[in-house]
Amino acid sequence: MTMLNFKLLLLWFCTISLSGQQIHLQNVHNRNIISLNGYWKIIIDPYENGFYDYRYQENPNGYFKNKKPASESDLVEYDFDRSDSLYVPRDWNTQNEKLFMYEGTVWYKKSFDLKISEGKRYLINFGAVNYNAVVYVNGDKIGEHTGGFTQFTFEITKYLKGEKNFVVVKVDNKRLREGVPTLNTDWWNYGGITRDVSVIIVPETFVQDYFIQLAENESNTIKGWIKLNGNNTGIPVKLSIPEINLNETLTENDNGIFNFEFNANPKLWDTENPYLYKVKIIGGQDTTTDRIGFRNIETEGSTILLNGKPVFLKGISSHEESPITNGRAATEDDALAVLEVVKELGCNYIRLAHYPHNENIIRAAEKSGILIWSEIPVYWTILWNNSQTYSNAENQLTEMISRDKNRANVIIWSVANETPRSDSRLKFLRGLIDKARALDPTRLISAATELSYDENKMIIDDPLCEILDIIGANEYLGWYGGKPEDAQKISWVSKFNKPLIISEFGGGALYGFHADKNTRWSEEYQENVYINQLIMLDKIPFLQGMSPWILMDFRSPRRPLPGIQDFWNRKGLVSPEGNKKKAFYILEQYYKSKKTWRNNDFGN
């Protein structure tokens, strides 16, 4: 890591807590917290009358005041306590029928009891709110956040009033042309407070953030930094990893930053032995612990190396859909249910599309030895020349990396999916790639790039590939063009000596609909797509992995076909009810056998 990159990394991750300013807080779930999960009172507000007055100016006495009539004649035209409720964390679409396709503002309110202690500070953390959130505590605005899939934290100490308090959140999931993602996507725009909410109690000086990993491409050097928040002058930081006899007292560089670099020989995390070490950090009166694995990921020519050894990524793509509620996945049970199917399929890797997923699945996959591709929703045709769009994308990238930078199983940061070629797009994505490398030089960078076609050739020639570590490519031979059997005629050519991951391929099928292999939407058609795809892909010499599209059917407004889709994208290998389609078993057989496939292997 160069000194310039290290300083940039610290600049972005080590935010100082000021009024209304976000804190990048590491390891939220393993701190002293008061959960605010549960039922919240809500008010549906499509005209945003609780925020703007009739002159369309921000109203200083909006719904966030949670006002009650002072007398019988006092006019107050809302009442949270008499309104409906929604459960947090969950989306609003699948909890309330009238909100199923709603896009707009919903106000959430939660009362909570808190005994304030001398010498303590209080933070509020949201795992994710889709898409724009304005947060108020006891009627005062404390901050705003844009982006539907990353966590954010604000300090609320000075806004608390005795033991009885309330928090109000204005949640707005309207799609925006200048947004990230933009107006048009192929997934459901779930609204609401979709991940955990908690109040975090910390000392006056606390451990805010840290980055503890192996130095880039080294196996015997642990390197990183620790950030304190507060009056840290003269306060030492102690870092210990007992199993490797690492017990060090660190001295501050500046602004609460404690850099370190130690020789060590940890047992390396890998897919067969996902070993995690207990790491303990003490800063003043604050102690935080984490479980961290150490591993190296790099490329050599067209090969991906995990701890110096070639690895083939046997994967699957997945949206953040709950197999339990058929809405946005929100709980640890959701994550474990998804991973159970992933492991049954024989995967060692998941592509988490098309946005950062819940930390529950990242950590559960880390314990199971499942590698992760994580990406931000720079998707299709966002506004490449809009500076605010770029800043939004860069912030979401920073927040994604900030939360998961210590997770050993996250090996790929992806900056885009299926974006059309242009000079402005290349400039936009180059900026994101440079930022990702500055923030975290220990992982690989990818994106789902654009392919070219020439008769029976697939040509990897997207200029974006030049600045990626791994080339991702989506193709749907046999579904969006040609017949499934045509895939066997295709050869692949690359202009770059880099690893290729087929980040998507597949076709749709309605579970339980059976016909011959030429009938669209039948399980047999989807099965035939997979058979022919795997025969083709097995002949690509520079192929280093695949994540077919997709594990489970998922909701999408783009898919209205009655009786077949009914607003579900049916490319899943598993139905919303958990039933496995015939193609599931084809991919399972492929991943578990590790043999070279030919036509007769599939019983054609």
Q: Phi first, then psi: what are they for 363, rounded to 5°?
A: -70, -40
Q: Please tell me which residue, 233 or 345, carries the higher pLDDT value.
A: 345
pLDDT tens column, 255-271 = 779 999 999 999 999 99
The structural domains of the chain, ordered by start, are: 28-202 (2.60.120.260), 204-298 (2.60.40.10), 312-602 (3.20.20.80)
pLDDT tens column, 41-73 = 999 999 999 999 999 999 999 999 999 999 999
CA separation for the pair 304, 296 (Å, rounded): 11
Reported as a pLDDT band with limits 50, 70 and 90, residue 415 is very high
Coil vs helix vs strand at 397: helix
Written as one letter, the residue type at 23 is I
DSSP state of 511: T
DSSP state of 66: -
Torsion of Cα atoms, 388 then 391 then 396 then 402, to 10°? -160
Query: What per-residue confidence (pLDDT) applies to 233?
Result: 72
Distance in Å from the first CA to the final CA of the chain: 52
Task: Please say whether the beta carbons of 2 and 244 come within 8 A.
Answer: no
Q: Please tell me which residue, 425 or 9, carries the higher pLDDT value.
A: 425
Query: What per-residue confidence (pLDDT) applies to 20?
Result: 65
* 582's tokens: 């015939």
Query: What per-residue confidence (pLDDT) applies to 4?
Result: 38
Task: Please report where in the chains the tokens 């030049």 appear, as a residue.
Answer: 466
* 72's tokens: 């019988």
Query: What per-residue confidence (pLDDT) applies to 601?
Result: 44
Reported as a pLDDT band with limits 50, 70 and 90, residue 455 is confident
CA separation for the pair 260, 239 (Å, rounded): 10
Contacts within 8 Å (CB) and 24+ apart, 533-539: 533/477, 533/478, 533/484, 533/487, 533/505, 533/506, 534/586, 534/587, 534/590, 534/597, 535/487, 535/488, 535/597, 535/598, 535/599, 536/477, 536/487, 536/488, 536/490, 537/502, 537/505, 538/596, 538/597, 539/491
Reported as a pLDDT band with limits 50, 70 and 90, residue 314 is very high
Task: Please report where in the chains the tokens 């910390």 appear, as a residue.
Answer: 202
Task: Please say whether the beta carbons of 214 and 1 come within 8 A.
Answer: no
Cis peptide before 550 (omega within 30 of 0): yes
CA separation for the pair 290, 451 (Å, rounded): 42
> Largest alpha-carbon pair distance within the chain?
83
* 296's tokens: 């190296």
For Cα atoms 267, 272, 273, give the angle at the middle one, nearest 5 degrees.
Answer: 30
Element holding 135 (H helix, E strand): strand 132-137
Exposed / middle / buried, residue 467 (Cβ in 10 Å: 0-12, 13-18, 19+): middle
Reported as a pLDDT band with limits 50, 70 and 90, residue 385 is very high
Element holding 315 (H helix, E strand): strand 313-318
Q: Phi first, then psi: what are they for 83, rounded to 5°?
A: -95, 175
Question: Helix axis angle, 387-404 relative to 3-13, nearest 10°?
Answer: 90
* DSSP-H helix ranges across 261-413: 332-345, 359-368, 387-404
pLDDT tens column, 478-492 = 999 999 999 999 999
DSSP state of 272: S
Reported as a pLDDT band with limits 50, 70 and 90, residue 25 is very high
Task: Please say whether the beta carbons of 124 and 114 come within 8 A.
Answer: no
Reported as a pLDDT band with limits 50, 70 and 90, residue 421 is very high
Written as one letter, the residue type at 408 is A
410: β partners: 372
Task: Please say whether the beta carbons of 74 and 87 come within 8 A.
Answer: no
